[in-house]
Amino acid sequence: MTATTVTHTANVLDGADQLEHKNTCRLCGGSITALFSKTVLGKYAVTYFRCSGCLSLLTERPYWLDEAYRESNLSNADTGAAQRNLRNLAATYGISKLLKAKNVIDIGGGDGLLCRLLRDYQINCYLQDKYATPTYAQGFTEHNFSSPDLVLGFEVLEHYPNPTADLDNLFSYNPRALLLSTCIYSDQNKDWWYLAPESGQHVFFYSNTAMAMIANKYRYELVTCSDFILFVKNPSLLTKLGAKILLRKSVVRLFKAIIALLPTPGISIDHAFQTQKSKKVSLSLE
Ligand SMILES: [Zn+2]
């Protein structure tokens, strides 16, 4: 496949621009160059491109996504999913305390384990995921606040087929901060494990430059540490420094251990709330 060359724009595209440029970067509209091909879902020869504008890596337009999500939102090779929930719990707990964030939405929250764990520690978290059943967070998909303080999106960005529109949706919550995770692309080769072509779900790989462009577009400041990405509005220097420390691998590991020792009052509070709700429903049916 031949890359189409267009004039590079230094900004993240808006929706209308995105529709016009079919063979350019789906994030910034920059020119893209074919780097290599991988077999996706065991049968599709898919070309991966590098963008000269935002320096990200992207697949060709992903036409296989329905198939990729047909069986499960979790890839069968994603054996790290459970530990990742505990790590994300520790990071979110720390950041929510630092930013005094009470109301949280977990985008792409899967089966709801993180949402449930956060609620156990009285963080008012709700979940959204169009591909998954919220087994652990049943009853907590319709949030009870007008806008969240914190939006979570762990291992979500790399799934976005159209980052321009998908990021618009994500940032339209207009929270104080967004805590996200994805592996940053920095010219890894075609054997990079994060490409995960066998699952077909990873279709866009952001560079640090792309992250800075996104922060600039939506007017947030960017804090990155390991593979956590925090977008935060008007942070003080102290807040930025605090976030950087809290998201360090060693600190997250320490928090994991501390949190396990804390009481979990949210379990009984939510139990009472859900029981009350069920009673109201059955009374209204009588
Ligand atoms: Zn780009």
Whichever domain contains 227, its CATH number is 3.40.50.150
206 Cα to the center of ligand 1, angstroms: 9
Helix (H) or strand (E) holding 104: strand 103-107
CB atoms within 10 A of CB 15: 10
> Cα(99)–Cα(82) distance, rounded to whole angstroms?
26
Please report whether residue 101 resides in a domain: yes
Please report whether residue 158 resides in a domain: yes
Q: Which domain holds residue 105?
A: 81-182+208-261
32 Cα to the center of ligand 1, angstroms: 8
Q: How far is CA 5 from CA 8, 33, 34, 52, 203, in A?
A: 9, 8, 11, 10, 21
91 Cα to the center of ligand 1, angstroms: 29
**Residues 39-61: pLDDT tens digits?**
999 999 999 999 999 999 999 99
> Cα(250)–Cα(194) distance, rounded to whole angstroms?
22
Please report whether residue 274 resides in a domain: no
152 Cα to the center of ligand 1, angstroms: 23
Please report whether residue 3 resides in a domain: no
pTM assigned to the model: 0.88
> Cα(271)–Cα(170) distance, rounded to whole angstroms?
30
Please report whether residue 10 resides in a domain: no
56 Cα to the center of ligand 1, angstroms: 6
Mean pLDDT over residues 191-198, rounded?
96
Choose between 279 and 178: higher pLDDT.
178
**Going by DSSP bridges, is the β-strand pair 124-128/103-107 parallel, antiparallel, or unpaired?**
parallel
> Cα(253)–Cα(284) distance, rounded to whole angstroms?
47
What total of structural domains would you count in the chain?
Answer: 1
Residue 148 has pLDDT above 80, yes or no: yes
Please report whether residue 222 resides in a domain: yes
- Which pLDDT belongs to residue 278? 78
Q: Which residues contact 33 (CB under 8 A, 6 or more apart)?
A: 3, 49, 50, 52
122 Cα to the center of ligand 1, angstroms: 39
159 Cα to the center of ligand 1, angstroms: 16
Please report whether residue 148 resides in a domain: yes
Helix (H) or strand (E) holding 29: none
91 is written with which tokens?
A: 């990071």
> Cα(234)–Cα(240) distance, rounded to whole angstroms?
10
- Which pLDDT belongs to residue 3? 35
Please report whether residue 240 resides in a domain: yes
Q: How far is CA 125 from CA 60, 63, 113, 147, 156, in A?
A: 35, 33, 11, 12, 17
274 Cα to the center of ligand 1, angstroms: 45
50 Cα to the center of ligand 1, angstroms: 8
